[in-house]
Structure 1
Amino acid sequence: MSKRNNIIQVFEHNTLYYGREYNDVSFEEKHFNALAKLNQLHNNQYFTLIHKGVKFSHYVGVVQIDGLTIEILPKIDGGDSNKFLWQKVLVNMLRATKKLKVNKVGQAHLNKQQIHLLDIYFEWFLNEMQLLIRQGLIKQYRKNTNNVKALKGKLEFAIHINKNLIHKERFYTSHQVYDQNHLIHQILSIALDIIGQFSSGTYLYSKFKRVKADFPEVSKIVVNAETFKRLTNSRKSQPYKTSLEIARLIILNFAPNVSSGKENMLALLFNMNDLWEEFVLIKLKGAANKGIEVKGQESKPFWNGINIRPDVVINIADKTYVIDTKWKNIGSSKPSTHDLRQMYVYNEYWTSFNALLLYPSLESVEPKFIAFEGAENHHCALGKLNILNGGVLNENIGEEIINWFLANDKLPVDC
């Protein structure tokens, strides 16, 4: 089984310098230039450019450029530098937040350390495509405007006169066609072609060829974010939901000719702060029993059209807690004054008076709620949550957080 050989794995906030080798894989100036261009296209949020190098930020994921694959992995400072471990942590966080589905085949390869993040996404898409083909690809009505030999549909008179002064036997018309050459399949075909470019030489290429052979020929279109907004949901198109979501991720992150050369780039990058927030929220919702309500993305007006929004709001009996997640190892440091002021405001606006700053760690430290000076009813705590359990991602963090609050409220765990 062939697999990707030119792979560099780095941790977030690490640096790559061009002209150097990393585990016998070269990071060249053309790769640096392509990353610089990609960063410029995304408001310089992915990396920091330094002299002859790229310093990664809090974005994790995968970039492939001109045969080189770069995986950027999350990591808690001071923790194990086992890249296989942190790759599994990232994959499982993406899976928990519905940004990735690892099927049985992909999981088996992952456990054997024979697969990489890009391959998992590609395999997910190809499996979805095979399922759609087996179920039967749908047909839809579409408008076809063309010169035809029989009058049907609406005659486009002005264009007809212009084009058919000589060819009296032809008619320029707009008419309805019912076939498989519609927008959904045109989008999926673009994603499929991108996968073909980037899977060449890997174990997935033969699967790509089979899917390509079974997929109908459709018109080539230019796809951007607006294209996806034109899609409409219907009972017939519902089976396409997952494949279109993956196609959107692949197409909108594909950057052809991103550098001065001919290199094409595909970058699937995720903000680790957002990923941590979503992971905590999902695990809390999964652990919430009767009498416990968990909400995310709840905002309230603050000032002159500006809203404020804590990451998570939890209601337990007659008490409310607000949580702000922070993806960084705070160690023995204290929270910033800015963060504490923010938590004080959340307490006021949500009438909670119990605010929690939640950090990832390699050992759990139960929060101790301490009152703000001069405001005895306002409490804030710092919680450290061990994200690993037995060398894998801790899937029980929701229960741990809720138990912290139950212990603070001295409520029965029955709920």
Structure 2
Amino acid sequence: MKKVDGHITVFEHETLRSDRGEKRLSQKQLGVLQTFYGEDGVPYYSLVHHGVKFNEYVGVIQIGKTIIEVLPKADKSGDENTWRNVLISMLRAVGVIDIHAPSSSDLQLRANSVLDLYFELFVKELEYLLHRGLVKKYRKTEGNLSILKGTIHFAKHINQNIVHQERFYVKHYTYDKQHDIHAILYKTLKLLKNIHTHTELNSRIGTLLLDFPELYDVKVTKTLFERISLDRKTEPYRKALEISRLLLLNYHPDVRKGDDNVLALMFDMNALWEQFVYVSIRKFKDKETTIAAQSIKNFWKPNTGHRSRIRPDIVLNKGTEKCVVLDTKWKNLNGHNPVHEDLRQMFVYMKYFGAKKVALVYPGIDCSYRTGKYYEYDTYNPNELSENECGVISIGVDVNVKRWQMMISDSINKLLE
């Protein structure tokens, strides 16, 4: 049995149990995961006997000071460091991880997980903002003052100052650093102080807490972030706020015990693979090629109720004779055929988008392309093949993200020839 030392690394679709296996959960950790799963469940894992089985989500689940890292794996090759770098490279490429620092090499820590990377990105962003100087904003305030400032609140003025005629209860605007943007960042900074596991960040977080103005507490909700409006002066705060949103909205404190708080920072690999393929094609495509993600067409309308739509992942040269439709799937076929549902789906896309070609895009050990034809559906000969083709593209995973993206682009460009 492998001793749990605060960091457990597994791959997607693996199982962690408390009763057997090289890597084991403690009974306490399993209990926290079961409680977090709740009655409605979570998409990150499913419960099994004496354990949990992870789904196609990757990232980090932190329980107290213990980190469970879930890495992607498209084939049987590569170790934990390789696939950790693959995940971080994909997140960087699609813009999920981005900072104001001149380059990513400016980061000082060796990221042991995506969570460690996010912690340092946030610290780096706050150091950047403090160096620039924190932005002041106007806010409405009221109170008893010795000078007349703003407008008098007559009801409260009479109530509180009947024997203090030298005072004025007024409403006025104050121009300072006490506003919601800073309150959110300050709350995130205090969260990091309590949950981070990297000792190298201790001094930097401590320095930030000393330099950052102490602010009021805010109740964290999606609405709080939605009502934040950035202007020219506050635009540099965008990345720090994005990381704050990610951390604060995915942090689940244990109000009963207080020592088994859960932070789940997980990414759907199917969605990440789709976005990664999209940005890779867009980055290296020809000027004549157009690209659209998640194009929608109406598909079916009932007599009553809402209509159904179809939405392929990627459409190239939409509405032209050279139209190509792609659908991405994060799984390794290992030489097998695509499942029937995917092939039927691509046939529908071909007809509704008038596509010249359609293809399913998978990760694999190396790059390959094979194709197959659909059978004719309006003929009496059940063995007659049509001219309608569906391609199957397998793209080898490469730790060099630029080379990997070029491989994706080259594989797709062959469909456009």
TM-score range, shorter chain: 0.7 to 0.9
Map 1:141-160 to 2 at 5 A.
Answer: 141-160=138-157
CA deviation after TM superposition for structure 1 residue 115, in Å:
3.1
CA contact (8 A) 2:151 2:172 kept: yes
2:61 corresponds, among 60, 63, 66, to 63
Partner deviation per Cα, 1:113-154 (whole Å, 9 max, x = no partner):
x63321111111111111111111110001123344444334
CA contact (8 A) 1:119 1:204 kept: no
Q: Does 1:322 align with 2:325?
A: yes
Query: What is the CA–CA distance in structure 2 between the aligned matches of 1:321 and 1:229, rounded to whole Å?
Result: 36
Structure 2 equivalent of residue 45 of structure 1: 43
CA deviation after TM superposition for structure 1 residue 91, in Å:
0.7
Structure 1 equivalent of residue 369 of structure 2: 366
Equivalent position amino acid for 1:104 in 2: S
Give 3-state SS (helix, strand or coil) of 1:374's partner: coil
Equivalent position amino acid for 2:328 in 1: T
CA deviation after TM superposition for structure 1 residue 393, in Å:
7.7
CA deviation after TM superposition for structure 1 residue 402, in Å:
2.8
Structure 1 equivalent of residue 304 of structure 2: none
Q: Give the gaps of 5 or more residues in structure 2.
A: 302-306, 379-385
Q: Does 1:204 align with 2:201?
A: yes
Higher mean displacement: 90-99 or 341-350: 341-350
Q: Does 1:385 align with 2:399?
A: no
Q: Give the gaps of 5 or more residues in structure 1.
A: 410-415
CA contact (8 A) 1:60 1:269 kept: yes
CA contact (8 A) 2:65 2:197 kept: no
Structure 2 equivalent of residue 223 of structure 1: 220
Equivalent position amino acid for 2:28 in 1: K
Distance 1:259-1:393 versus aligned 2 partners, 3 A rule: farther
Higher mean displacement: 156-165 or 264-273: 156-165
Query: What is the CA–CA distance in structure 1 between the aligned matches of 2:234 and 2:255, rounded to whole Å?
Result: 33
Give 3-state SS (helix, strand or coil) of 2:405's partner: coil
Structure 1 equivalent of residue 310 of structure 2: 308
Map 1:22-37 to 2 at 5 A.
Answer: 27-37=25-35
Map 1:342-353 to 2 at 5 A.
Answer: 342-353=345-356
CA contact (8 A) 1:21 1:27 kept: no
CA deviation after TM superposition for structure 1 residue 367, in Å:
2.9
Query: What is the CA–CA distance in structure 1 between the aligned matches of 2:256 and 2:243, rounded to whole Å?
Result: 25
Higher mean displacement: 314-323 or 58-67: 314-323
Equivalent position amino acid for 1:231 in 2: I
Higher mean displacement: 192-201 or 122-131: 192-201
Give 3-state SS (helix, strand or coil) of 2:205's partner: helix
Equivalent position amino acid for 1:73 in 2: L
Query: What is the CA–CA distance in structure 2 between the aligned matches of 1:41 and 1:145, rounded to whole Å?
Result: 46
Give 3-state SS (helix, strand or coil) of 1:313's partner: strand
Query: What is the CA–CA distance in structure 1 between the aligned matches of 2:297 and 2:84, rounded to whole Å?
Result: 37
Partner deviation per Cα, 1:252-288 (whole Å, 9 max, x = no partner):
1111117755322211100010000000000000111
Query: What is the CA–CA distance in structure 2 between the aligned matches of 1:229 and 1:391, rounded to whole Å?
Result: 33
CA deviation after TM superposition for structure 1 residue 250, in Å:
1.0
Structure 1 equivalent of residue 94 of structure 2: 97
Query: What is the CA–CA distance in structure 1 between the aligned matches of 2:270 and 2:239, rounded to whole Å?
Result: 25
Map 1:100-249 to 2 at 5 A.
Answer: 100-101=97-98, 103-106=104-107, 109-110=109-110, 115-160=112-157, 171-199=168-196, 202-249=199-246
Equivalent position amino acid for 1:130 in 2: E
CA contact (8 A) 1:20 1:27 kept: no
Structure 2 equivalent of residue 413 of structure 1: none
Higher mean displacement: 278-287 or 328-337: 328-337
Give 3-state SS (helix, strand or coil) of 1:188's partner: helix
Give 3-state SS (helix, strand or coil) of 1:221's partner: coil
TM-score scaled by length of structure 1? 0.87
Structure 2 equivalent of residue 8 of structure 1: 8
TM-score scaled by length of structure 2? 0.87
Give 3-state SS (helix, strand or coil) of 2:333's partner: coil
Higher mean displacement: 29-38 or 13-22: 13-22
The sequence identity of aligned pairs, in percent, is 37
Distance 1:37-1:337 versus aligned 2 partners, 3 A rule: same
Give 3-state SS (helix, strand or coil) of 1:267's partner: strand
Partner deviation per Cα, 1:60-93 (whole Å, 9 max, x = no partner):
001111110110000024x125111111111111
Query: What is the CA–CA distance in structure 2 between the aligned matches of 1:201 and 1:349, rounded to whole Å?
Result: 52
Map 1:333-344 to 2 at 5 A.
Answer: 333-344=336-347
Query: What is the CA–CA distance in structure 2 between the aligned matches of 1:179 and 1:41, rounded to whole Å?
Result: 45
- CA RMSD of superposed structures (Å): 2.7
CA deviation after TM superposition for structure 1 residue 163, in Å:
5.6
Structure 2 equivalent of residue 412 of structure 1: none
Query: What is the CA–CA distance in structure 2 between the aligned matches of 1:135 and 1:5, rounded to whole Å?
Result: 39
CA contact (8 A) 1:139 1:179 kept: yes
Query: What is the CA–CA distance in structure 1 between the aligned matches of 2:35 and 2:189, rounded to whole Å?
Result: 25
Map 1:277-296 to 2 at 5 A.
Answer: 277-296=274-293
CA contact (8 A) 2:182 2:215 kept: yes
1:401 corresponds, among 401, 407, 411, to 411
Give 3-state SS (helix, strand or coil) of 2:216's partner: coil
How many aligned residue pairs are there?
Answer: 397
CA contact (8 A) 1:387 1:393 kept: no
CA deviation after TM superposition for structure 1 residue 326, in Å:
0.6
CA contact (8 A) 1:286 1:398 kept: no
Query: What is the CA–CA distance in structure 2 between the aligned matches of 1:18 and 1:125, rounded to whole Å?
Result: 34
Equivalent position amino acid for 1:265 in 2: V
Give 3-state SS (helix, strand or coil) of 1:76's partner: coil
CA deviation after TM superposition for structure 1 residue 295, in Å:
1.2
Distance 1:31-1:150 versus aligned 2 partners, 3 A rule: farther
Distance 1:314-1:367 versus aligned 2 partners, 3 A rule: farther
Distance 1:355-1:21 versus aligned 2 partners, 3 A rule: closer
